[in-house]
Amino acid sequence: MILGKIVGKTTTTDFKFKADKDITIYQYVQIPIKDKFALAQITEIEKDSNDTIAYCSIIGYRDGSHISQIRTPLEPGIEVLEAESDFIRDTLGLVDEKGAYIGKLDGKNLKVFLDINKMLTKHVSILAKSGSGKSYASGVLLEELLDKKIPILIIDPHGEYSTLKYPNSDKTNMDKFEVKPKSYLKQIQEYTPDTKINTDCKALKLSTKDLTPSEILQLLPAKLNNAQKGLLYSAIKSIGGKTDFDEIIMSLETEENSAKWTLINVLEYVQKLGIFSDSPTYLEELIQPGKASIINLKGVQPELSEVVVYKLVKDLFDARKQNKIPPFFLVLEESHNFCPERGFGEAKSSSILRTVASVDYSEPIMIKKRKNTKICSIGEFIDNLIINKNIAPNKSGLEIAEIKSKIYTPAFDKNLKIKYKPIKKVIRHKIKEPLYELTLEKGKKVKITSSHSIFVLRDNIIQDVPTTSIKNNDYVIVPINMPKNKSILKSIPFSNPQNNRKFKLPSQIPLNKDFMTLLGYFVAEGSSNGSSIRFTLNYNEKAYIDDILKHLKNLFGLTPYVYKRKELSKVEIITNKTSLAELFSDLCGKYAYNSKVPSCVFNVSGELKAAFIKGCFNGGGYLRTRKGNKGGRNIEISYKTVSKDLAESLSYLLLSIGIHSAIYEIKPNKPNHKIVYQLVTNGKHGENLLEILNNNKHYSKIKKSMDNKNRHTNSLESLIPTEPFKLAYKNYKPVASDNSISERMCIRRKRANREDLINFISYLERKSRIKPDKKVINFLRLLCTSEIGFLKVKKIKEVKSSSEYVYDLSIGESENFVSGRGGIILHNSEGRKFGLGLCVISQRPAKVDKNVLSQATTQIILKVTNPNDIKAITSSVEGLTSGAEKEISNIPIGTAMLVGTVSTPLLVNIRPRKSKHGGEAVNIMQDDKDFAKEIEDSSELMPVIKPKLTKQDLELMSTEQIKDKIKTVLIPCVFLMSKDYNFLVNLNNNQIISNIDNLQGVNIPDLDLSQSQLKVFKAALLKREFTPAELFAETNISFSEINDIVNGLEQKDYLLKDRKFKIAPRYRMFSELEKYACYEKIDFSKIKFDEKLDSKVNVDEVKKKFSKFLDINESREAFLVNYKISR
């Protein structure tokens, strides 16, 4: 149908037409352009006594997978047609049956779907005034996610989301939107911190394990003054890092400051709230595919609600980053209370919901642009791009510059190889959170914000974890080489004015071995005053002096002045050539404190890099041999400088030719002296560097070391932690024959070299009793053939930022880059897809933190009338036109403005809910037979360990009909987890379980031992037979006392005596716990059962008993499923 014709001025983005038919705002129209049509939308209507004029915004036309804009303005007089439904659907791309169906396009019978992947990575907001249907709309969205089996966690302040359990009985509108009533009872589980108020919910318990100082401050309901904070930090420091409430209280009690009693009272109050526990609600229980966990906060004090949300969301966020739980969707109802805009107060949960991550200004990175590779600080690199592009902060406070030219930085790929990867974006923002410095083995360091992620080898996989979750002795991922440059630089330009100078340099300086060696000498021993250059060497370094003189003569035809300063035992080589001084100053820096590796050195061949390194180490290097662990002497080459830039860039240069080094700081012992940076390389890398230096100065030392077969040749980075290999050995149980000893020995060490581990993998494939999983073998082999190494964290401390900004790179699919002193692999934070989608819901958008609100790229906006709220929406939501802003207050109830799905706002009629709406009374006794049956059939959600044989397996294996005779029995157990293995204890009969299918187990004996008896008993467990004398050396207990203790243990039946003493059989299990290792997994599911046995043993007592013999990291209670056949 023709609606009218275009009139007046037109552009490529908008036009107006005189309407001949009735029209409405936001109506879609189509206009012909050449051989196709373009889609437009009416955004405003003007009417006088004669004419109706419609103002339209042009959306564009479909061009393959995207919408293209028209390139020339429309001609006046062109007919404007009402858009056909199929044309709207195809142009806007509304057909996506895999998405979340939320309603139909206003005025059209077109279904509208939301992109679920986009919601999980870019977030959603639902904004409306009270009573406009925000909870109803969120319920529609949750139904769709549950139908798609997406895990959901709902923060529910008013207890209104439990109605998702019940079907909607109002079927009036459902047929029109093609939906049917549905109950989500089996997919819903409610939790609450207060079961006295919310009696139908499970108790929510939060973990107190490994709390950081900043976490503890957030968890306390009262604000502390500076004196109290100082006291708290002092108490935590004396404990030695992460801790729990009990340890802090004990530490505070030893303090002399009287302010401790207020702190202790606050901590004890928090404990009495009952929301913290040593056996917390499992995060894996809360986040399960196809399940929604509702955190019902109805009637809970606001301050306590904030604590619950902060701790729960933080733990879930950290667990998701570590891939311990699946991607999930977090719904935050009444979000203005949990992350308020700063002018409206501060909630304890605000910090975790605002999280943004980045790197300090000063951290070095390697950048490759065209043929030029250089080392620079990340701040310098990003500042130049942001300023040159005149980038302004977006609504989140982030300054983001898209990189269209080809700029690369090293990163690891899916095969764990270090490659140059293109930088997609650079980001900076003002620092808003603590900055930490991580120090690794070999002095590698990096400064990153508390929420930035770093890659570690943990739980036998490589995962990225936030800074706050990093612990001492974590293995951090580092590069063991740098990608090679394919393009080689042959010369560098020199364009300084040289008029009226007798000595002139050519416009292109050739890069050859002589020039690179001379540059190395200048970096180590040179300086410049702007008109001359000077080399200062020791009196006895005649070979190096002659070398410098030779290069100056060959390269520039110069014979410099040579001054012998006998009083200082120094020789100075000086040439007064201004052009040469300018060249060397520009490339290397003028003085020792600002010297650096010239950028051109990173762009030459390996041979020329070696020439520079030779000059550099000849001038400033030192060789020595050190005593090795296995005897003999090992080579160590070091280089000292007061220039931090030189030490860092030299370490990257060495890494680019495959030589590993360490950097250590030597603090001055005199005032006004500078820190000295010592670069050290040893082992096979020291030997490789020695070949480059070709130095005969210490030949006798070198020869002795090289002849030593026991010399240390492995670098720490090249060794691989053996934990994943040990786990494979335990799981697949290879045959341990005598001729396989050499293949197995390597995994006895904490770290092993790659060649030995490759041999171990071959042994595992050949000799395993259980066929190894191909994925496991491939991962182990990938580690051995990778270009990444592993270094332990030695120190973590909070530091000051070197700038008001922090910085980040977006590398696209690689999602990592190399930065920091010596090279550490970081996760890029912008655009990372952790799979934690956030849905922010509020009736007061003006009170919601703008950073949080603007992170949502999909907005569902219902009726809003408050001017401040409308202003907050328009300032935080991109893509709203001026017409759309005006229309927000006129949106009818049941309709939403959808922004972010396509380039223009959509008006969508929200579909009816399949489940009961929370605002209505629920009649549980309704006459709905299907629902009544569902309630009757509902099962209890619980942590379970399932046997390998299912009910169906038992039926198939049986020769008689047993289907109705199989009963499901749940047996209470506790999973005890140590560093090396887990084992399962039956809490009903106090047995350690050896076979979960037939419930075979061994009785756990009681222990009644004094401290000295326990010490002797533990020493005895390590021996098959022994005499008291054999235990004497291992216990440091006097011989007479040992005799008495051993005899006492025999009388108590702990020991048996024949010719020698040995452990009584019933206690031998404590020395064979590995034999009971259980590798099953706890699942959380609703399960029907016929019988649930009671716990007859106290979990804490069980943990206490086994903790005497090994470190129990964690314990988890669960039910072991057992199928019992009644005869």
Q: 152: phi > 0 → left, psi -120 to 50 → alpha, else beta; which?
A: beta
| For residues 268-277, average pLDDT | 80
Least confident of 44-53, 224-233, 572-581, 830-839: 830-839
pLDDT at 1066 over 80: yes
pLDDT category, 396, cuts 50, 70, 90? low
Give the residue, 442 or 849, on which the prediction is more confident: 442
Residue 702 forms beta bridges with which residues? none
pLDDT at 1008 over 50: yes
Q: Provide the terminal-to-terminal Cα distance of the chain, rounded to the nearest Å.
A: 77
CATH of domain 2-93: 2.40.10.170
- 322 three-state secondary structure: coil
Give the residue, 223 or 620, on which the prediction is more confident: 620
φ, ψ at 1066 (rounded to 5°): -70, -20
Record the tokens describing residue 879, joined without a space: 């893509």
**pLDDT tens figures, 494-527:** 988 888 888 999 999 999 999 999 999 999 999 9
Residues 6 or more apart in contact with residue 835 via CB below 8 angstroms: 120, 121, 320, 326, 327, 328
pLDDT of residue 67: 80
Cα separation of 629 and 627, whole Å? 7
Residue pair 896/135 in contact (Cβ under 8 Å)? The answer is no
Give the residue, 882 or 228, on which the prediction is more confident: 228
pLDDT of residue 375: 92
Shortest CA distance to 963 belongs to which of 1123, 773, 824? 1123
pLDDT of residue 481: 92
Least confident of 21-30, 175-184, 913-922, 981-990: 913-922
pLDDT category, 378, cuts 50, 70, 90? very high
| For residues 415-438, average pLDDT | 88
**pLDDT tens figures, 135-146:** 899 999 999 999
Pairing assessment for the beta strands 79-82 and 991-995 based on DSSP bridges: unpaired
Give the number of other CB atoms < 10 A from CB of residue 636. Answer: 17
Long-range contacts for 708-713 (Cβ within 8 Å, ≥24 apart)? 708/628, 708/631, 708/632, 708/633, 708/634, 709/632, 710/628, 710/630, 710/631, 710/632, 711/628, 711/632, 711/633, 711/634, 711/635, 712/628, 712/629, 712/630, 712/634, 712/682, 712/683, 713/683, 713/684, 713/687
Least confident of 426-430, 506-510, 880-884, 1057-1061: 880-884
Cα separation of 206 and 146, whole Å? 25
Of all residues in the chain, the percent with pLDDT exceeding 90 is 32
Cα separation of 897 and 907, whole Å? 5
pLDDT category, 926, cuts 50, 70, 90? very low
Highest averaged pLDDT of the listed ranges 115-119, 227-231, 972-976: 972-976
| For residues 543-551, average pLDDT | 93
| For residues 184-203, average pLDDT | 89
pLDDT of residue 190: 92
| For residues 850-862, average pLDDT | 77
Whether CATH 3.10.28.10 fits 491-707: yes
| For residues 1035-1047, average pLDDT | 85
Least confident of 672-686, 899-913, 1067-1081: 899-913
Least confident of 196-210, 440-454, 977-991, 1073-1087: 1073-1087
pLDDT of residue 1127: 64
Give the residue, 528 or 243, on which the prediction is more confident: 528
Q: 770: phi > 0 → left, psi -120 to 50 → alpha, else beta; which?
A: beta
pLDDT of residue 905: 77
Please give the CATH superfamily to which domain 359-480+787-827 belongs: Hedgehog/Intein (Hint) domain (2.170.16.10)
pLDDT of residue 965: 78
pLDDT of residue 937: 47
| For residues 941-947, average pLDDT | 81
Residue pair 1012/1041 in contact (Cβ under 8 Å)? The answer is yes
**pLDDT tens figures, 48-58:** 888 999 999 89
AA letter at 412: F
pLDDT of residue 924: 36
Give the residue, 545 or 344, on which the prediction is more confident: 545
Nearest 5°: CA angle at 988, between 986 and 992? 25
Residue 806 forms beta bridges with which residues? 360, 429
pLDDT category, 630, cuts 50, 70, 90? low
Give the number of other CB atoms < 10 A from CB of residue 244. Answer: 17
Q: The tokens 């459902």 sit on which residue?
A: 174
pLDDT of residue 857: 74
pLDDT of residue 677: 93
| For residues 287-315, average pLDDT | 88
pLDDT of residue 932: 42
Answer positive or negative: Cα dihedral of 1115, 1116, 1117, 1121.
negative
Record the tokens describing residue 294, joined without a space: 């509702």
Give the residue, 710 or 152, on which the prediction is more confident: 152
pLDDT category, 832, cuts 50, 70, 90? very low
Give the residue, 1007 or 1082, on which the prediction is more confident: 1007
Give the residue, 464 or 831, on which the prediction is more confident: 464
pLDDT at 32 over 90: yes
Give the residue, 80 or 256, on which the prediction is more confident: 80
pLDDT of residue 936: 44
pLDDT category, 313, cuts 50, 70, 90? confident
pLDDT at 355 over 60: no
CB crowding 819-841: b at 16 or more within 10 Å, else e: bbbbbbbbbbbbbbebbbbbbbb
Least confident of 416-420, 730-734, 792-796, 1047-1051: 730-734
Least confident of 500-509, 815-824, 826-835, 1096-1105: 826-835
For the chain, the domains span 2-93, 112-203+283-354+835-867, 206-277, 359-480+787-827, 491-707, 716-785, 939-1006+1074-1125
Answer positive or negative: Cα dihedral of 174, 175, 177, 178.
positive
pLDDT of residue 156: 92
pLDDT of residue 1036: 77
pLDDT of residue 80: 95
Helix 1039-1051 to helix 1011-1021 angle (10° resolution) is 80
Residue 858 forms beta bridges with which residues? 124
| For residues 405-426, average pLDDT | 90
Assign domain 112-203+283-354+835-867 to its CATH architecture: 3-Layer(aba) Sandwich (3.40)
| For residues 855-874, average pLDDT | 83
| For residues 902-907, average pLDDT | 73
pLDDT of residue 348: 58
236: enclosing H helix or E strand: helix 226-239
**Mean pLDDT of the residues in the chain:** 84
Helix 542-556 to helix 606-620 angle (10° resolution) is 140
pLDDT category, 346, cuts 50, 70, 90? low
pLDDT category, 1089, cuts 50, 70, 90? confident
Give the number of other CB atoms < 10 A from CB of residue 677. Answer: 23
pLDDT category, 884, cuts 50, 70, 90? low
Same fold, 2-93 and 112-203+283-354+835-867: no
Q: 786: phi > 0 → left, psi -120 to 50 → alpha, else beta; which?
A: beta
Residue pair 480/788 in contact (Cβ under 8 Å)? The answer is yes
pLDDT at 923 over 60: no
Q: The tokens 């040159």 sit on which residue?
A: 388
pLDDT at 678 over 70: yes
